[in-house]
Amino acid sequence: MLKLIQNATVYAPEFLGKKDILIAGEKIVAIEDTIDVSTLFSEVIDFKGKILTPGLIDQHVHITGAGGKHGFGSMTPEIMLSEFIACGTTTVVGLLGTDGSARSIKTLYAKAKSLESEGISAYILTSYFGLDAVTFTQSIQDDMIFIDKVVGCKVAISDERSSYPEAIDLLRELKQVRVGGLIAGKKGILHIHLGALSSRMDVLLELVQKYEFPIEHISPTHVGRTLPLFEQAIEFAKLGGMIDITSGGTKYTDPYKSVLYALEKGVSIDKMTFSSDGNAGIGIVNEQGVTIGFKKAPIHLNLKQVVLLVQEGKLPIEQAFKLITTNPAKNLALKHKGSIKVGFDADFCAFTNDLQLTDVIARGKQMMKDGNIIVYGNFETKN
């Protein structure tokens, strides 16, 4: 099936100008100034007056739900397809949180496969907060090799709910991630949840500076939780690491302001990403400090923070959108994702000139049209 996108102003995310894009099935097969429509196309999509970017990537989202620290009733439900489409997310990485008991790694895999069957792309991280790894095969390395969706492993540090791992503990997990990735043809990352304890990122800097472990396999997240933590994250990024700023969780300032601060300190925009930590459980607290209810952490703030970078921070579109397109794709080594190039997956977001999302295409299929979601998940009620 052929589709032709016409007249779009393309940010790939680098600025390409006005282009036509030919899609065959799920792939981009041509990008030209003009593509002759005399050929028989099944569909022509005219994006005249619209900005076109790659589909957005969220590399840290609780697709099967999270929460639970206030009891079973505080556990959040699964995310539905339309929630991702509504904010332009066409690729997700699902993971477990604190809970590796009531939440199942097998259910996580099944949800990723379900989202793929509904039209977007989904990957997962094996394990959870603890060092007592929760895996499919009893081995992180074997999960990397034999489970197609697994692109890395999760663990927590500097958090009262973590296993308080030392450098040698993390090195053992990093070895499994890296060797498993080498065998499976994956990059392999150890995705590290950072809490608010005063140890911050000390052990990660030790891994790089003392043990000389390749920094590209170490993927810290929630680095904007406190200013002292973010200062260490800046040091980590200057050593060549990729740092992940959470758009919807605990933060010392607006995430887009953290990016601007890091840029002022000499960090390359190519060394930062946004992720949502979406669908985690958040307690609703009254004026007396009593928890009176629960809500889901939002998944739409990645895009909002990028738009603020453009509108408030005056960052060019081609720079700001790297945080949720090319950079997470590079961090995870997701082939054919994060850019508008021939041979890449046909994932797109279309915007008005003031960056209001109007259209979403995932793997060649239009999911949102003129601001209206037109494809829903199998068990969703359509509007």
User: pLDDT tens, 318-342?
Assistant: 999 999 999 999 999 999 999 999 9
Q: What is the mean pLDDT of residues 82-87?
A: 98
pLDDT at 382: 74
Contacts of 217 (CB under 8 A, 6+ apart): 174, 177, 178, 181, 187, 188, 189, 190
How many other C-beta atoms lie within 10 A of the C-beta of residue 110? 13
Report which secondary-structure segment, H or E, holds 57: strand 56-61
Q: Tell whether residue 244 is among the known ligand binding residues.
A: no
> Which of 99, 142, 143, 277 is an active site residue?
277
Q: What's the CA gap between 119 and 112, in Å, rounded? A: 11
Which fold, 1-51+336-371?
Urease, subunit C; domain 1 (2.30.40)
Strand intervals (E) in 144-201: 150-157, 189-194
Q: What is the mean pLDDT of residues 187-192?
A: 98
Residue 39 confidence class, pLDDT cut points 50, 70, 90: low
Q: What's the CA gap between 283 and 294, in Å, rounded? A: 5
Catalytic residue status for 277: yes
Q: Is 87 left (phi over 0), alpha (psi -120 to 50) or beta?
A: alpha
Q: Are 296 and 281 in contact (CB under 8 A)?
A: yes
Two tokens at 215?
């920094």
CA nearest neighbour of 377 among 119, 179, 20, 187: 119
Domain with CATH 2.30.40.10 in the chain: 1-51+336-371
pLDDT at 294: 82
Residue 383 confidence class, pLDDT cut points 50, 70, 90: low
Is the pLDDT at 33 greater than 80, yes or no? yes
Q: Are 92 and 122 in contact (CB under 8 A)?
A: yes
Q: Tell whether residue 62 is among the known ligand binding residues.
A: yes
Domain with CATH 3.20.20.140 in the chain: 54-330
Two tokens at 253?
């300032």
Compute the mean pLDDT over every residue in the chain, rounded to the nearest whole number: 95
Q: Tell whether residue 193 is among the known ligand binding residues.
A: yes
The dihedrals phi and psi of 145, each to the nearest 5 degrees, come to -80, -45
Q: What is the pLDDT of residues 259-314, one digit of tens each?
A: 999 999 999 999 999 999 999 887 788 888 888 888 888 999 999 999 999 999 99
Two tokens at 57?
């990537």
Which fold, 54-330?
TIM Barrel (3.20.20)
pTM for the model: 0.96
Is the pLDDT at 42 greater than 80, yes or no? no
Two tokens at 194?
């950072």
Q: Tell whether residue 300 is among the known ligand binding residues.
A: no
CA nearest neighbour of 307 among 274, 272, 265: 274
Is the pLDDT at 201 greater than 70, yes or no? yes
Q: What is the mean pLDDT of residues 352-377?
A: 97
Q: What is the mean pLDDT of residues 358-372?
A: 98
Q: What is the pLDDT of residues 126-175, one digit of tens each?
A: 999 999 999 999 999 999 999 999 999 999 999 999 999 999 999 999 99
Q: Tell whether residue 336 is among the known ligand binding residues.
A: no
Tell me the one-letter amino acid at 119.
Answer: G
Is the pLDDT at 22 greater than 70, yes or no? yes
